[in-house]
Chain A
Amino acid sequence: MSSELRYSTFKTNVKYSVINTNVHNVDGIAKVTGRATYTFDVTLPGMLYGKILRSPHPHAKILNIDASRALALPGVKAVATGKDTLGVKQGIWRRYPELCDEQVLPLEKVRYIGEPVAAVAAVTEEIAEAALDLIDVEYEVLPAVYEPLDAIKKDAPTIHEGVERNVNVTRHIEWGDVDEAFAEAEKDGYIREDWFRCSGQHHMCMETRAAVSSFTPDGKLTVWASTQSAYYTQGLLAGVMGMREGDVRVLAPYVGGGFGGKFELDAAMFCSAVLSKKLYRPVKIVFTREEDMIASKRRTPMFYYVRTAMTKDGMFLARESRMFSNGGAYTGMGATALYLSGFFHSFPYKWRGYRYDGYRVYTNTMPSTSMRGFGAPQAMFCSEQQIDWMCADLGLDPFEVRRKNAHTECYEVPGQAYIQSCGMTECINKIEEWVKSKGDLGPNRAIGVSSCGFMSGGIFNWFDSPYSFSSAVVTINYDGTVELHVGCQDIGQGSNTTMAIIAAETLGVKIEDIKVHSGDTDHCPADLGAWGSRQTLMAGNAVKMACEDAKKQLLEFAYAEMGLNIVYDLDIKDRWVHVIARPERGMKYEDLVKKALRAKDGQRIVGRGYYTPHRKGMISPAYSYMMQAVDAEVDPETGKIKIHEVMTAHDCGQPINPLGLIGQLEGAASMALGYAYLEDMPMDEGKLLNPNLVDYKVIKAPEMPKTGIIDIHTYEAEGPYGAKEAGEGLTNPTAAALGNAVFHAMGIQMKELPLTPERILKALREKKEQEANK
């Protein structure tokens, strides 16, 4: 039912004991029994509840805040405003001070509806809520601007002082001779240009932003937070609180979803910390769903101008694109989305010349940031539809054209990236076979396809060091059980399970021997956390290295005991330490551990590992590749879309956890289909019109189509056991594939997301009018 994993015929003689076998997630029991404790569930003795007063204006000066009436309310313990803070302008691009532009409690002005203005701590949530109405804020309302193409105009209101035309950050990417290639196409090729509008999307984590802060008289701060990176939260909080990072402990117990929205500093973290520091009592703040929707962050809305040149037989010559993104009020992680969108807009094809100019523009709306796909779903919506339209214009086969231009193994994207493993051609072949096997689907129904690729972690790090890094520490106990300390963060994607699998495989033990410790800055090594699809490759490599280190220490004892030539003649598999050439000759793992530890005066065996990419270009050490097909039907009367099936051919190198891989595929498909035809964030003068789960439509079980995955198995030399990214990149192709399905079913070209019934009907009407005028 519903989904299956079909393996391609990649051949290998490597036999893994744990990798690519079906295992239960290491946190499965906790999650299916209700034992898993999230920040949302944390209660501490003497804990107070915080609530945040938010701006009703999209742009206004704060003239005065008078909290005296609120403070007089019985049960209210404190009110904090910007004046109670150090006024630090913070941001996640810490190495670029001009991009650190957000005071979580602003001192002078508010820049979007929902921006925090003050925070209250009280003995109950109800009293805190009631106190918000008693805080008197005097504003001077300023003219506001909401769309990037308006905000960039000369006479637009200034949102950040000194920022000309509200341009927050720009990004230029270029290689090859673009102009020459276009000149050639003008003579004897084909050029097409289109404008696209890609909408925003809310992360909609089931656990809203939440934090519990406890500042104690020893000057230390402990914070439970729903975060994708305990490390970033620690660093950012220390920065705004004027504390040493080591004096801030961040705990991320279980995290109820992230999807790119939870690794910046949020108001729950900051306001609870400020209030706790005032009161020396724990303070808990949980966003309501409405707060989460109007004042967290969102997928970046983007306007794309795309001009593409190809030869008449479908060889890609050049592309030049300009993109204007709605940055909202602050930078957040949006600067990275600006960069990655431009890079993945070229994917997964070879261009003679490529030029991208991206402009991230401030507006008086909720800030935009990273969200699963990190700018690539928008880029692919434009690129992959335009390719199909050009193929139709020229009478070419879209599979053949994609295959001719696709990345291949060991390809270098000039000046940008080195591709090692690449299963793109095989993905196209398999999807082409699948599409052809479906035959004629009848009227108003068609299959659309889209290819794409994605990174396995960013090489960049704008937080503190120029490099991205991951680390792990492994300790082997006297009884052979293993403590694995990692800095990577499990936010539901299953990284703790992935790390346990890699550790068990490397050490030669069972997965139940491994205890994974994560989400605690006091006890886990530093790691940038969960973003940009980095953990399987980066933290996975760190775990593998740590376990190899520990295993070598163990095997040295076995080597001495068994009198072999070199230590590498030995291995451990399924808790059996043995001579590789004669597997029956060996000893039990538990026995070896006991002997080894006795010889070390009882000290535990400790292995350390880290990973940081070097000489891998500008973007990522490795890239996943995929092609997705969406089978969809349009009702010409209502404009409604029905999705019948989604099939994906996917190259993530060596799959580590097949059950997790299927889960990532299906989850990405539901989120990306939502983006493609249901989810939108309409605003009226900066006010979100659907700030709840009644009016904001996400995919529910009945709408979710059948899904399948064809695993294109490659081996990525840079990844642990050949693994690379899986899960985030799968959000990229879907909107484009659905757009192409609608194009092939109805002959209409959809240039705006989401593909709502209104937009479909409008396009059908316009098509009819055009045909009548012919």
Chain B
Amino acid sequence: MEKRALKLKVNGQEYEVFINPKTLLVEVIRDHLGFTGTKRGCETVSCGACSVLVEDMVVKGCSILAVQVEGMNVTTVEGLEDNGKLSPIQRAFLDQGAYQCGFCTSGMLMSATAFLKENEGKSVTEHEIREGIEGNICRCTGYNSIVRAIDAVAQGKYKEA
């Protein structure tokens, strides 16, 4: 297949890549642009390690072609911090020890970020939080520390004073 140019914005920066149209979004992010914070753990859209935000929606980066996000804003884990300042969910993960090996963490953070954005200002139940990260497999933590971290942010514990 003939290669083509693709423009997209990742973490606020515009990029142009020259790719085979069959290239997956996660491949562009990792292999072409070098954002290796995003991981891959399966070939079956099952594990969620490659989750990123497209606009504000969480998307598994292996489930769509890069050309499908032409001109859109993509956020990866590297885009969560602001000039060295961690986002509330990143700080909550640290406080709760909501990661162990860390391989699923980037994807988990993206799903959590999307969930929190979607439910901003609403009160959320534990069950809703669990459903919010259902697409992400973590083999280390047993999820409960992650649920506590998301809950703490949802309850406003990490709001700037």
Contact = CB atoms under 8 A, between A and B. Distances in A.
Contacts of A207: 39, 41, 101, 103
B100 interface: yes
Interface in A284-301: 288-290
Given A1-B148, A290-B43, A206 B139 contact: yes
Contacts of B86: 29, 32-33
Interface stretch (A425-433, A489-497, A536-544): A489-497
Interface string B27-42: 0000000011111111
Interface in A700-720: 700-702, 704, 706-707
A19 B93 CA distance: 21
Given A34-B38, A289-B41, A698-B139, A704 B101 contact: no
Interface string A594-637: 00000000000000000000000000000000000000000000
A704 B144 contact: yes
Interface in A1-40: 1-3, 24-25, 27-38, 40
B143 A693 contact: no
Contacts of A494: 100
A694 B41 CA distance: 12
A259 B142 CA distance: 14
B110 to A, nearest CB: 10
Interface size class of A (residues with CB under 8 A): 35 or more
Interface stretch (B2-10, B63-71, B126-134): B126-134
A37 B102 CA distance: 10
A670 interface: yes
B17 interface: no
Interface in B35-61: 35-44, 46-47, 49
Given A27-B102, A492-B140, A698-B139, A33 B44 contact: no
B144 A257 contact: no
Given A1-B151, A257-B140, A37 B36 contact: yes
Contacts of B19: none
25 contacts: A1-B147, A2-B148, A3-B145, A25-B94, A30-B102, A31-B105, A32-B93, A33-B86, A34-B38, A206-B41, A207-B41, A207-B101, A207-B103, A254-B101, A256-B103, A659-B97, A662-B145, A665-B142, A666-B142, A667-B139, A669-B142, A670-B142, A692-B44, A700-B137, A701-B136
Nearest to B90: A32
B26 interface: no
A512 B42 CA distance: 36
A727 to B, nearest CB: 10
Interface string A630-668: 000000000000000000000000000001101101111
Interface of B: 35-44, 46-47, 49, 76-78, 80-81, 86, 90, 93-97, 99-106, 109, 126-127, 129-131, 133-134, 136-148, 151
B140 A24 contact: no
Nearest to B127: A702
Nearest to B129: A701
DSSP majority for the A interface? loop
Contact of A701 (B43, B94, B134, B151): B134
Interchain residue pairs A-B with the least CB separation, the first 3: A34-B37, A492-B101, A256-B103
A671 B99 CA distance: 15
Given A692-B42, A704-B142, A34 B97 contact: no
Contacts of B143: 666, 670, 699-701, 704
Name the residue among A33, A288, A491 with the largest chain B CB count within 10 angstroms. Answer: A33
Contacts of A161: none
A471 to B, nearest CB: 24
Contacts of B139: 204-206, 257, 259, 667, 670-671, 698
A669 B42 CA distance: 23
A662 B97 contact: yes
A208 interface: yes
A24 B95 contact: yes
A28 B100 CA distance: 9
Contact of A256 (B46, B102, B148): B102
A2 B147 contact: yes
B103 A663 contact: no
A26 to B, nearest CB: 11
Nearest to B135: A700
A669 B144 CA distance: 11
A255 interface: yes
Contact of A699 (B103, B106, B142): B142
A667 B140 contact: yes
B39 A32 contact: no
A257 B78 contact: no
Nearest to B35: A34
B78 A34 contact: yes
A32 B99 contact: yes
A41 interface: yes
Contacts of B81: 33
Contact of B126 (A1, A493, A670, A700): A1
A225 B37 CA distance: 18
A692 B36 contact: no
Contacts of A31: 99, 102, 105
Interface string A355-396: 000000000000000000000000000000000000000000
A30 B146 CA distance: 17
Contacts of A289: 41-44, 47
Contacts of A663: 97, 100, 140-142, 145
Contacts of B38: 34
Given A32-B99, A667-B100, A701 B146 contact: yes
Contact of A41 (B36, B47, B93, B96): B36
Contact of B102 (A24, A36, A204): A36
A259 B145 CA distance: 19
A2 B47 contact: no
Nearest to B96: A659
B13 to A, nearest CB: 15
B135 to A, nearest CB: 8
Given A206-B41, A207-B39, A28 B94 contact: yes
B147 A206 contact: no
A509 to B, nearest CB: 21
Contact of A33 (B49, B80, B96): B80
A155 to B, nearest CB: 40
